[in-house]
Amino acid sequence: MKSTGVLAVAVSLAGGTLVGQDAVVRPLLTKDLAKDSAREITMMTVEYPPGGSDPVHRHDAQALVFVLEGSIVMQVRGGAPVTLTPGQTFYEGPDDVHIVGRNASRTAPARFVVFLVKEKGAPILTPVD
């Protein structure tokens, strides 16, 4: 069971919508970009429990993913699904719709770091129907 604090962080990051069906999101840092005060970089960790996943969403940002542990499957609309393991990376552009984000394992957790470059104050995640 998730702690209320982690759940509240996940809800607030998405502007009132749960970030993932099962994902635990931990914000690490948000800083203004040097020489571009209209944009910021946000860094967070995301942990998927065994079998965990995210809903379909977009970031309206450049998103860089770095896998720390476990194995995850990522896919943007129009692209092929990719399975990533520790040390591998994934990129989402500001117009991409993230249609698959899930733990590849039903028995082990997966954890990754996400870096977002976005307009200052823009939501971290926007659900897509």
- Domain ranges in the chain are 4-127
What are the pLDDT digits (tens) for 48-75? 999 999 999 999 999 999 999 999 999 9
Percent of the chain scored above 70 by pLDDT?
84
- Give the global pTM: 0.81
- What fold, for 4-127? Jelly Rolls (2.60.120)
Pairing mode, strands 82-84 and 61-69? unpaired
Alpha carbon of 109 to those of 8, 48, 70, 87: distances in Å? 21, 6, 6, 16
Task: Spell out a b/e string for 92-127, using b for 16 or more CB atoms within 10 Å of the CB, else e.
Answer: beeebebbbbbbbbeeeebbbbbbbbbeeebbbbee
95-113 average pLDDT score: 96
